[in-house]
Structure 1
Amino acid sequence: MGPLTTGAGIVVLRPIKLRDAPSWSRLRRDDEDYLRPWEPSGEGGWLSRHGPTSWFSVYGNLRSAAHKGLMMPFAIELNGQFCGQITVGNIVRGQLSSGWIGYWVAREVSGRGVATAALALGVDHAFSAGKLHRLEATVRPANLASQSVLRNVGFREEGLLRRYLHVDGDWRDHKLVALLADEFPDSAVARLVRSGRATW
């Protein structure tokens, strides 16, 4: 999906691939101190959970959930290079028709509009091809950069989830933000382009 052009370059989303293992592992391991404060805790140490062979399990779980219609996992590319991930997960159909959206980008591309462009692309895919009605995201109150990304794409704050997720060694509060498919007259990408933060 895409491309969208930001100050950093051309941003696209594409399906995750098995061959993403070296890039995924390098970025996750190099950026431990940048990513760990915001991500749910896992078993074992960060380095052991993000070695090149760990990707095969992550990839398999994501693809299996995708085949069941429960997730939409994508790689984020900047100028043709893997630089992060975005996932629509916990997809529920029927009367709820909702899911959550989460993302991460490498430290080297943060603050350059890449996450914002990727999020807009992911939102539009979830609402158009995914036919969802509602998307939610959660973010720690201290994560000002991610809150800015979410606001720039149009997410609204709906409340505070107390001690919601175990992150970085403790149960942490998270803000709940959400977006409905009918809140834009056209698309999240079009809104981003009108704001001047990206171009087609």
Structure 2
Amino acid sequence: MASATGSELIQLISQVTDLGPQVVNDRSVVLRPPTFSDAAQWRRIRLRDREFNEPYAPTSPLEWEAQHSVEEWVRRCLALRKAQKVGRTVPFVIDVDGKFAGECALTWTEIGTSIAELSIWLDARAARGGVGKLAAAMLVDLAFDELQLAVVTAATGTDNVAASHGSETLGMRHEATMEEFFDAGGKRKQYNFWTLLRADKPTGGFAYRAISSVRPAAPADAVEAESAGGPSAFAVARYTAKFNCELALHGLLSRLQHSPKVARGPKAVAAGDVTLRNVRKSDASALRAAEIDVDPEVVLAIEVDGTLVGRTWLRLINALSAEFGLSTDSSPPAVENAAADLMVEYAFEVGCERIWVPVVVGDVRLRNLVKHLGMAHEGTLTQYREVSGVRKDHELWAFTRTRYSNRSAPDSHSR
């Protein structure tokens, strides 16, 4: 089965609704969109299970209880609906025997591509007996069968034994260990990267295998429900207005942050002085020789003695992490190395905590560049990205602000 085009995939994502019911160990599992009325149950479970969830939840300036207010749930629902509409995520809550018991989702770092990340959390009292395994399997079947994805990934904290075990039992392969990948529980933590391919699909599908492979379990605790429901219509309207206002302000702030005046360098090499500056409209024709097939959030032009030779960029900027890239018109390695040094210095100065590069296996030029930067090889990702119409394996190279600060000073000098 061929993968859907980007626009077709976005449309499919926006139309996804309920999955299930599927039954495992006499428990009915349904995946459905989140609703405002889930607020009380979500809040009760997250507060009760704090010790299990907080170490792996995104770091927040808010106290745990404030993070799980009714207003926060309404804001979450609004954000997830918006993200689904544009093809960023397929969000679900997990109902067990008709009661809210957790959340799961497929999320796209790059909208419209055939690779997505799976995430899941469950009520600790509902997690036994294969419920979590089945919910994840239902999501993977959706990814491969309905959305026609090529790859499903997952990222789990290296100290999160339960999540790593869940990835293994689903059939995922551990392909990389990423240093300081995500800011969770108050600090940046090391995470494992897992991959599942469409070709890995078992006969009958992942959900069928999950149900068939689960051993009979002792009766699990009933999922508790709270009598109080969701917020009033008035409260939802008030939260919605506040959310939309903050979203507009955030969009303006984002545009301002992504268009600063930048001038970096010069950095002296044999070919001349290497500098970086903002890209201009007049650069378009000169940059055709350095065409790139990505849409970066931050792009800087590379000059040698005032002559434009290429560009360097940061993209997929998320949670203080960014992918680095560079393209020139056949400039010598020393020029590319100098430009890379300047861009990385800039990225860390403006607040990045982790910079990473996916290198196509066999790309000697880019591999030498990331080694020059002092990046560490974290693993090899199977069929990670499409290149010229073919999905190829990529080596994952990265370093953090800490590793960068501790590396030896580069040989060439910057003034």
Q: Same fold (TM over 0.5)?
A: yes
Instruction: Report which structure shows greater RCO (CA 8 Å, sep ≥6).
Output: 1
CA distance in 2, matches of 1:7, 1:18: 29
2:336 maps to which residue? none
Please state if 1:3 is matched with 2:25.
no
Tell me whether 30-39 or 189-198 shows the greater mean CA deviation: 189-198
Contact 1:69 1:91 survives alignment (8 Å) = no
Contact 1:137 1:177 survives alignment (8 Å) = yes
Please state if 1:135 is matched with 2:152.
yes
Describe the superposition over 1:107-139 as per-residue Cα deviations: whole angstroms up to 9, x where unpaired. Answer: 111233211110001111122222211111111
Residue correspondence of structure 1 range 139-154 to structure 2 within 5 A: 139-154=156-171
Question: Pick from 16, 21, 25: which aligns with 2:34?
Answer: 16
Please state if 1:71 is matched with 2:93.
no
Describe the superposition over 1:152-176 as per-residue Cα deviations: whole angstroms up to 9, x where unpaired. Answer: 1111111101111111111110010
1:116 maps to which residue? 133
Residue correspondence of structure 1 range 1-200 to structure 2 within 5 A: 1-7=19-25, 9-90=27-108, 92=110, 96-186=113-203, 187-196=205-214
Q: Which amino acid aligns with 1:51?
A: S
Contact 2:54 2:185 survives alignment (8 Å) = yes
Q: Which amino acid aligns with 1:158?
A: E
Contact 1:6 1:197 survives alignment (8 Å) = no
Q: Which amino acid aligns with 2:41?
A: S
* TM-score when normalising by structure 1: 0.91
Structure 2 gaps of 5+ residues are: 1-18, 217-415
Describe the superposition over 1:57-79 as per-residue Cα deviations: whole angstroms up to 9, x where unpaired. Answer: 00000110001111000010110
- 4+ residue runs over 3 A deviation: 91-94
Alpha-carbon deviation of 1:41? 1.4
CA distance in 2, matches of 1:118, 1:148: 15
Q: Which amino acid aligns with 1:183?
A: D
CA distance in 1, matches of 2:212, 2:96: 21
**SS of match in other structure, 2:125:** helix
Structure 1 gaps of 5+ residues are: none
Alpha-carbon deviation of 1:92? 3.4
CA distance in 1, matches of 2:145, 2:60: 33
State the structure with more CA Rg: 2
2:400 maps to which residue? none
Q: Which amino acid aligns with 2:43?
A: S
Contact 1:8 1:112 survives alignment (8 Å) = no
Aligned length in residues = 197
CA distance in 2, matches of 1:117, 1:43: 34
Q: Which amino acid aligns with 1:74?
A: F
CA distance in 1, matches of 2:97, 2:198: 29
Q: Which amino acid aligns with 2:118?
A: I
Contact 1:71 1:91 survives alignment (8 Å) = no
How big is the alpha-carbon RMSD for the aligned residues of Structure 1 and Structure 2?
1.8
**SS of match in other structure, 1:107:** coil
Alpha-carbon deviation of 1:53? 1.8
CA distance in 1, matches of 2:24, 2:91: 22
